[in-house]
Structure formats: C-alpha cells, structure tokens
Amino acid sequence: MKTRAAVAFEAKKPLEIVELDLEGPKAGEVLVEIMATGICHTDAYTLDGLDSEGIFPSVLGHEGAGIVREVGPGVTSVQPGDHVIPLYTPECRQCKSCLSGKTNLCTAIRATQGKGLMPDGTTRFSYKGQPIYHYMGCSTFSNFTVLPEIAVAKIRTDAPFDKACYVGCGVTTGVGAVVNTAQVQVGDNVVVFGLGGIGLNVIQGAKMAGADMIVGVDINPSKKEWGEKFGMTHFVNPKETADVVAHLVELTDGGADYSFDCTGNTDVMRQALECCHRGWGTSVIIGVAEAGKEISTRPFQLVTGRNWRGTAFGGAKGRTDVPKIVDWYMNGKIQIDPMITHVMKLDKINDAFDLMHAGESIRSVVVY
Ligand code: NAD
Ligand code: AHE
Ligand code: ZN
C-alpha cells in the first residue's frame, strides 16, 4: 500500500513529506493507522545527527497512537479496530529481561530495532524502490506503519488519539521515572532539571507521589509558570544562580532525596547527582546525551552515599503499564491537555522542531 510520511532523508535536513510504499504485516506483525503523533526531543536529537544509532533515510517518530487495520499470521493479542500505542520498549513477556521482573528493557527485538529493521531483518517502507528505515521500532511520522505485535499496547477506545499519543513516550517516561524507577515516597524532596515535555511529567508524577518540595531547574525563565501548573514548589534559573548545586543543597536542607535530569546535558547530569542528599540521595538520568559525551563526578560523591541511576521509558512495561497510564489520564489523575501546546498537520511537522528548539512548545502533536 501507499502511505504519506515525513521522511528524514539526511541528518540536519528538514523532513520531506512523500508517499512511501509500505509492505503489509508479516507473521507476528500488525499494520497500524497512526492517528496522531507527538514530537519528542529524541526525534530532534536523531535528526540533528547526534544519535550513535541514527540511520538515514528513515521515518522518525516514536510517540504515537492509532488503530490496528490488519494483522499478520499468528497475531493473537490484538485485532483490527483495536486502539493501540506503539512501544519503542516492547514487552515480549518471554525473554530473559522480561522474565527477570527486574527491568522493562525487553531484549526480544532490540538488535534489529537498533538497525532500523523489523525483526526479520528487512524494512517494510520503501521509496522509489529503495529501503527506508524504521526508527525505534515505531516510525510514527508515517500515516501507516507496521509494528511487531509485542510492540503495541492496546488502550481503551474512548481515549482521544491527540492526547493518548503523548503516553507513547513523554508522559510515561516522566511519570514512570518517579513511580517506577525512583519510587518517590510521600514527603520526599525532589529536584527536576529541564522543564520540557519530560520534566513537567516528572513534576506531575512527583506531585502525585506526594513529594514535599518539588524544585524545578531551567535556563528558560518561562518554565517557572509551566512548572507551577503541575505542582512545582520552587524554581531555580541557573543563569541567575552563582552556584546551582550549593543553592539546591541549601534549599532542600542538605540535598534532594531524588533528582532527575531531563536535559540530556552531561554537565547538568553532574549537577543533578551532586545536589542529592549525602548518604542516600538518588539521581535518575532521563536525558539522552549526544554521541561521544560521557558523565563524570568525584567518586567521593558515590562513596558518601549518593546513587546514580538511569531510566528508559520510565521503567514502564509497555503492554502492561501503558493502558493503566491512559486510564490515569482519563480518570483525571494526571494531566495531558495543557502540555500539548501546538497541534498541526503532517505537512507542518518541521515547525514542531523549530518550536522545540526555540523553547516555545512543550509538546507539538501532528494529527493525521
Ligand atoms: P524539551 O526540549 O522539551 O525540554 C528540555 C528542557 O531542558 C527545556 O525546557 C530546556 O530549556 C531545558 N534545558 C536545556 N539546557 C538546560 C540546562 N543547562 N539547565 C537546565 N535546563 C536546561 O525536551 P524533552 O522532550 O522534555 O526531552 C528531554 C530529554 O529527555 C531529551 O534529552 C530526550 O532525548 C530525553 N528523553 C529520554 C527518554 C528516556 O526514556 N530516557 C524519553 C524521552 C525523552
Ligand atoms: N540510540 C541512543 C540512545 C537513545 C536512548 O537512550 N533512547 C531511550 C529512549 S528516548 C525516548 O525519547 C531508550 O529507550 N533507551 C533504551 C534503548 O534500548 O534504546 C544511543 O546512544 O545509541
Ligand atoms: Zn521520546
């Protein structure tokens, strides 16, 4: 079949809207009509050529929601008409990682996914006879996409696609980092670096978990008002603060119980660790750093009891947890609507990247 898609032909170039050829689902795969997709900073990072796994030409996008239109042989868990969210972290429930119960990082298809391929080692997309690669196993910047059955979460049919798509990455990552990875407890003090599409979800997760102080840190002063909408109690602008770490340690009476990096900047990651409380504070890295960057600190920071952790997709097990997070939204436990600042059609998708780089959007969503 044909599908309209925004294709990343080359790094650092705008996406091009073209009609691609799409092969139907093979065994264990499903064809999904994407109804809406968010644009996450990770898409921008890959398009900017900063991802060591970036492959071109490809169809980016990993934060979508849509409807199953066709299933391949052997598919049993979803059927045509089901509403689904594509999962860049699948859940096969059979691999060593899934069976361990210790991680959400399913390994069933990670090797091919990282090469822009379906599990059988081929692509379903092509343009003028040449292969176009998949991205993070999702490729939601195409109106239709093919996904492995284990990489879709079935959600309720009354959830609006233009909001539910955000659960495909930003909401789950931010809220999940708090409730699954850090397991913030009532009364904890939390510091969040970077109040964008992820950081604001960390804030609302911390509020939901009953955190006491929720300190937001951002170099963009307009983020103060944004943080306050979701439960931030204090705001720090590093551009107006001589020693950010010392200031945060004093503000939190000795340091954060939990801090979160939602910037992808390795210098900020160090600050996030070092503002944690001596003896027990834990810093969770969410931000994705550009290829070649490394983190550092004095080992003494760890010797004296600070913990450095990371999280992918908020530690969420996609097929199990994503439908629950959609329920939290539908039941009013978490907010999504105010964070979706811009909605556009596919032909304006490059505007979403410009808005993000200018710090003018929280989330842009493309509606097909
Ligand atoms: P975003 O662009 O919406 O937000 C980034 C925020 O960081 C902005 O508000 C910006 O002003 C702020 N910032 C930049 N430099 C800063 C600094 N030096 N100090 C303080 N604040 C600073 O991006 P996003 O969509 O929220 O994504 C945030 C990061 O999380 C990205 O690196 C993205 O790739 C990553 N991410 C990771 C996961 C995961 O599973 N681990 C999932 C989604 C996104
Ligand atoms: N490909 C990069 C790493 C990118 C990365 O860390 N991705 C996160 C999700 S970001 C979503 O917006 C992730 O899930 N990582 C775990 C995984 O298995 O990819 C690189 O450095 O090569
Ligand atoms: Zn993302």
In this structure, what token pair is assigned to residue 273?
A: 């660790």
pLDDT confidence band for 310 (50 / 70 / 90):
very high
User: Taking CB atoms and a 6 Å cutoff, what residues make up the pocket around ligand 1?
Assistant: 40-42, 45, 169, 173, 193-199, 217-220, 223, 238, 262-265, 268, 286-288, 311-313, 356, 359
User: 52 in ligand 2 pocket by Cβ < 6 Å?
Assistant: yes
Question: Chain-centre distance of CA 53, in angstroms?
Answer: 16
**Angle CA(135)–CA(140)–CA(143) in degrees, nearest 5?**
130
Which one of the ligands is nearest to 104 CA? 2
Q: Please tell me the distance between residue 70's alpha carbon and the centre of ligand 2 in angstroms.
A: 28
Q: Please tell me the distance between residue 42's alpha carbon and the centre of ligand 3 in angstroms.
A: 5
pLDDT confidence band for 8 (50 / 70 / 90):
very high
State the pLDDT at residue 271. 98
**Distances in Å between the alpha carbon of 45 and those of 12, 65, 174, 275, 286?**
10, 22, 18, 27, 14
**Angle CA(39)–CA(42)–CA(47) in degrees, nearest 5?**
85
CA dihedral 290, 178, 40, 269 (to 10 degrees): -20
Q: Is the dihedral of CA 340, 17, 7, 319 positive or negative?
A: positive
CATH level 3 topology of 2-168+336-367: Quinone Oxidoreductase; Chain A, domain 1 (3.90.180)
Question: Coil, strand or helix: which one is 281?
Answer: coil
Please state which CATH class domain 174-312 belongs to.
Answer: alpha beta
Mutate to test the pocket of ligand 2, among 39, 41, 42 (most ligand atoms within 8 A of CB): 42
State the pLDDT at residue 223. 98
State the pLDDT at residue 218. 98
Provide mean pLDDT across the span 102-130: 98
d(CA 140, CA 151): 13
What residues act catalytically?
Answer: 40-42, 62-63, 92, 95, 98, 106, 110, 169, 363
Each residue of 146-158: pLDDT tens digit?
A: 999 999 999 999 9
State the pLDDT at residue 152. 98
What pairs with residue 310 in β-bridges? Answer: 285
State the pLDDT at residue 292. 97
Q: Please tell me the distance between residue 331's alpha carbon and the centre of ligand 2 in angstroms.
A: 30
State the pLDDT at residue 237. 98
d(CA 62, CA 133): 13
User: 135 in ligand 2 pocket by Cβ < 6 Å?
Assistant: no
* Helix ranges restricted to H, 69-196: 96-100, 110-113, 161-164, 170-176
> Going by C-beta distance under 8 Å and a sequence separation of 6 or more, which residues neighbour residue 320?
91
What percentage of the chain carries pLDDT values higher than 70? 100
Residues with Cβ–ion distance below 5 A, ligand 3? 40, 42, 169
Query: Residue ranges of the domains in the chain?
Result: 2-168+336-367, 174-312
Provide mean pLDDT across the span 212-228: 98
pLDDT confidence band for 166 (50 / 70 / 90):
very high
